[in-house]
Structure 1
Amino acid sequence: MDLINKLHFLVENGRVDSFPQASQQKVDTALQRIHLLFQEETEAPLTELAHGLRAWTRSHLQAEDIAQVAASATRAREAFSVLVTIGVGGSDLSARVFHDSFNHPYHNSLSVEERGGAPEVYFAGDTFDPRKLSGLLEMLKARGLLDKTLFNVISKSGTTTETMAALMVIRDALDDVNWQQQVLATTGLTADSVLFRMHKQSPFYGDTLLPVPDGVGGRFSAFSPVGLFFLAMTAGKGETPDTRIRAVIEGVSQAQAAFNLAYNHQDNIAYQLARWVHLFEEVDRKGTIVFYNYADSSCLGEWFVQLYTESIQERNGGANVISAKGPTSNHSILNGIIAGPRDKVVLFIHWEELGPDLVLPKETGMDSKLTVFEGLSMTHMQTASYRGTALDFSDNSVPTATLTVSKRDIQSVCQLMRLLMDTIAVKGRLQGLHLDNNGGSELTYLQDGVEGYKQNFRSFLGVGS
């Protein structure tokens, strides 16, 4: 596959060439081994990948799942005016990224026609704080929309307490023996899932379940039905569920093609980025990555925080991640990056095209300190702001690198997300998280640290395990 919309990786300051050759050689030797292991996977059956919790690398190739998502979204768009996604963590963060990146920033304020037939969109099920859920149900009732709302509940086990508590409240609010017909469940397709068992007793909407596939963890589920249903359901003007899904497949396929290149190929950015981060962690003892998304968007950073920290922080290792957005964060965290502890590296996400542009008007008659900006486009100013920030960090000896993305569209963003997932896979193996697990799964794809919280939570409530 030709890499048409290539992402670009550039190290502005903080080249690792000055690190001891022995350290670099050790990492490069490890990368060669890792690359060979991942190449062997290309011929492996899906069941083998699922066993190793790496079936997510083929989510975009599962034609049956994709066709089911497209059909369900097309049908539900005709039947419902509102979509509420109920989930937490990996079950909803990718949908939030998609909404933040691809839908109109004031999506819910537009008319149905202006939205291209897409429903209004809301999120629930990621907290026990009742304020927003209470307000959401109150608003839907007051506007006569509650019975026109589809609730997509997402939980592989069907026991995620934050999510299922919200579903229980929603079930009560619907106050209808047929409440299941307003619920679409995305879950594991075995009797281990509570949602699966509920569906067998009384089917959910469309008499169907969308699968959380075997071997696909939540934070790697963006391109499975977990994320794709939301993306398809909210297709806007000039789009259909099918065209949106095809754009995802194209972007992920581009990333996969790059990942299959030689580990030291200039277009295989996942290996380059993992190498850069790992050497700074191991040699220069940097303990924090600042993920600096240079756009007015927080969701991508929140998604990456979960992806990185829940995957890589194991065995008392792995960096922290701080999410920042430019230039907003220049008026907060920037001071700490420059003047605070020297424990950080910065990864910029730079967008060459942000979408429809605005130009500052001319002849405003305002103060001369402002008129110097007349006639400039805001995208040009955003780029100048990114470059100025990167130069400032470089001048202050802060290690920085940039991932440049051509457009903020579905294909490019999904290509970026898959690249970051692959980077995590490589980084985990550089840390040896696939080794010495007593025959268990690769630690990169587990999250056992949350189990203590769950047990203590239930203990304080006085309920059993």
Structure 2
Amino acid sequence: MTTPIKFCSNASQFLIGDQLSEITDQLHAARDEAFADVDLLRSGGEIPAEKQPLDSGFIDLPQRLLDGEDGLVDKMLASAAALRTRIDRLVVLGIGGSYMGLRALFEALCDPYHNELSRDDRGDVPRLYFEGNNLDNDTMSSLLKMLKTQCVRPQELAERWGIVVISKSGGTLETAAAFRMFRDALGEYYGHQSHLAQELVVPVTGETGKLRDLSNALGYEHTFPIPDGVGGRFSVFTAVGLFPAAVLGMDIRAILRGAADITEICRTKPLGENPVLDYVAACHLLERDHGMDMRVLSTWGNRLEATGFWYDQLLAESLGKHERGATPLTVVNTRDLHSRGQQHQEGKRDRVINNLTISEFASEPLSIPEVAAGVDQDQLNRIAGKTIPELLQAAIQGTNKAYADDKRPTTDMVLPKLDAYGMGQLLQLFMLATAIEGRLVGTNPYGQPGVEAYKNNMGDILYK
């Protein structure tokens, strides 16, 4: 096993007596229930009403895919390789969990300026654009205009584009509307009846539903499933995240291996040796006993911001029910220390700061150059030779000390490296933690009744 994620916390300073040991049995029971939910789902038996919906299929999915279930990984890799060689721009249409996991992987694992690089420098993979995740007329118009003005010779690889459309039901209006518009633009470009207009569209959807029916009617050759028992916000390790990630050249087997390994740690290790349970324990006790129901995911680096936004949705939709549930907030430091740091340091004592850091960066450390004394007005010669990672580490330690001195709790989640294996660990850790905390507090972590209400109301307004 590659080096696992490390977790530590100063939460013990804030707990009264032996609270951590008092909930050990409850935590282990919640963990066991979350894993038993997988057996219940796979059994095909009747699911009790209090367990519905039951979307626990994400838990064992990484290992099942690695073991070759349905040959799906090989199919995705083959289809992704073929699509990658035929387009230079990929438009991904999806909303919520249908795009946020991919965006987290893309920003973490691809070059920060991916779309600006030449095809060679991109590793011979396409550029990536997201739409169908909002109802913003201007951004959609701008992307369509860019495609129409920069792609005028369909015989040239550099001017070919394709679509991956992602929706489990096909009934989400934002994505469905975008798909119709981009499908029409694709047909105008290649010819509505051309083989390219068919082959350069890959739907990822459920086994039944509007998008599945439309895909069958239009005869799309490559359509990948979103399995039953895996909800949208837990679907990053289905074709939802893995297929487009493979098109972008990411190592999806390493991603799955990281997810499978952290799942095994979660399943077998006790509190104190288990980063999933340790994270849940700290957050839960600080919320339950100290009213700290704001969870600030403090990502120390730009490339993890999208991971934070993905986690915001995961936590909010899973546990924000029945007038309960912590409120998630993502910040990027040191950037946001200059906007939100004051409030976190001296505002209400209603939050825990969960740091997310990286031990080893992908690029060579940049060093502060020394300059002549006559132009050292910024007085940086005194730290000349220090690297940017050293400056960042000083900022992390200094910020944590400031919070500790003011008796404000922090936790630290440390990724050994920002690579495919590490991201697999991290995303699965957060999904497992969310499911286990739901079972711990008696909230079904699956389903999204509040979101369904807005969708229904929206439909009533538009179709009346």
Q: Do these two structures clear the TM 0.5 threshold for a shared fold by scoring above it?
A: yes
- The residue that corresponds to 1:28 in the other structure is 24
Matched position secondary structure for 1:223: coil
**Residues 297-327 of structure 1, C-alpha deviation per residue, up to 9 Å, x if partnerless?**
3201101100111111111111101110110
1:417 Cα shift?
1.1
The answer as to 2:12 corresponding to 1:15 is yes
- The residue that corresponds to 1:306 in the other structure is 313
- Tell me if the contact between 2:280 and 2:437 (Cα under 8 Å) persists in the aligned partners: yes
- The residue that corresponds to 1:447 in the other structure is 448
1:294 Cα shift?
0.8
- The residue that corresponds to 1:125 in the other structure is 132
- Tell me if the contact between 1:259 and 1:270 (Cα under 8 Å) persists in the aligned partners: yes
- Tell me if the contact between 2:41 and 2:57 (Cα under 8 Å) persists in the aligned partners: no
**Residues 204-240 of structure 1, C-alpha deviation per residue, up to 9 Å, x if partnerless?**
2xx12111111111111111110001211111xxxxx
Q: Residue type of the partner of 2:411? A: A
- Tell me if the contact between 1:50 and 1:216 (Cα under 8 Å) persists in the aligned partners: no
- The residue that corresponds to 1:379 in the other structure is 389
TM-score (norm 1): 0.89
- The residue that corresponds to 1:296 in the other structure is 302
CA distance in 2, matches of 1:355, 1:246: 19
- Tell me if the contact between 2:294 and 2:351 (Cα under 8 Å) persists in the aligned partners: yes
Corresponding residue to 1:402 among 404, 412, 422: 412
Q: Compared with structure 1, are the counterparts of its residues 41 and 170 closer, same or farther at alpha carbon in structure 2 (3 Å cutoff)?
A: closer
- Tell me if the contact between 2:97 and 2:233 (Cα under 8 Å) persists in the aligned partners: yes
- The residue that corresponds to 2:4 in the other structure is 6
CA distance in 1, matches of 2:59, 2:338: 38
Corresponding residue to 2:87 among 80, 90, 104: 80
- Tell me if the contact between 2:33 and 2:439 (Cα under 8 Å) persists in the aligned partners: no
CA distance in 1, matches of 2:39, 2:228: 18
CA distance in 2, matches of 1:49, 1:449: 28
- Tell me if the contact between 2:34 and 2:56 (Cα under 8 Å) persists in the aligned partners: no
1:44 Cα shift?
6.3
- Tell me if the contact between 2:236 and 2:242 (Cα under 8 Å) persists in the aligned partners: yes
CA distance in 1, matches of 2:411, 2:45: 32
The answer as to 2:351 corresponding to 1:344 is yes
CA distance in 1, matches of 2:341, 2:130: 31
1:265 Cα shift?
4.4
**Residues 21-52 of structure 1, C-alpha deviation per residue, up to 9 Å, x if partnerless?**
4x545522311322333454676673559963
Q: Compared with structure 1, are the counterparts of its residues 9 and 429 closer, same or farther at alpha carbon in structure 2 (3 Å cutoff)?
A: same
Matched position secondary structure for 1:369: coil
Q: Compared with structure 1, are the counterparts of its residues 164 and 39 closer, same or farther at alpha carbon in structure 2 (3 Å cutoff)?
A: closer
CA distance in 2, matches of 1:105, 1:38: 36
- Tell me if the contact between 2:312 and 2:330 (Cα under 8 Å) persists in the aligned partners: yes
- The residue that corresponds to 1:53 in the other structure is 55
Matched position secondary structure for 1:260: helix
- Tell me if the contact between 2:199 and 2:222 (Cα under 8 Å) persists in the aligned partners: no
Matched position secondary structure for 2:285: helix
**Two-structure CA RMSD over aligned residues (Å):** 2.1
Q: Compared with structure 1, are the counterparts of its residues 222 and 376 closer, same or farther at alpha carbon in structure 2 (3 Å cutoff)?
A: same
Q: Compared with structure 1, are the counterparts of its residues 48 and 19 closer, same or farther at alpha carbon in structure 2 (3 Å cutoff)?
A: farther
Q: Compared with structure 1, are the counterparts of its residues 366 and 165 closer, same or farther at alpha carbon in structure 2 (3 Å cutoff)?
A: same
1:370 Cα shift?
2.1
The answer as to 2:205 corresponding to 1:199 is no
- The residue that corresponds to 1:440 in the other structure is none
1:378 Cα shift?
0.6
- The residue that corresponds to 1:154 in the other structure is 166
CA distance in 2, matches of 1:219, 1:40: 20
- The residue that corresponds to 2:51 in the other structure is none
- The residue that corresponds to 1:164 in the other structure is 176
Matched position secondary structure for 2:252: helix
Alignment of 1:54-453 (within 5 A): 54-60=56-62, 61-62=64-65, 63=68, 64-144=71-151, 147=154, 148-174=160-186, 175=188, 176-178=191-193, 179-190=197-208, 193-204=209-220, 207-235=221-249, 244-266=251-273, 268-297=274-303, 298-356=305-363, 357-364=365-372, 365-367=375-377, 369-433=379-443, 443-453=444-454
- Tell me if the contact between 1:49 and 1:215 (Cα under 8 Å) persists in the aligned partners: no
TM-score (norm 2): 0.89
Q: Residue type of the partner of 1:220? A: F
- Tell me if the contact between 2:38 and 2:59 (Cα under 8 Å) persists in the aligned partners: no
Q: Residue type of the partner of 1:177? A: H
- The residue that corresponds to 2:50 in the other structure is none
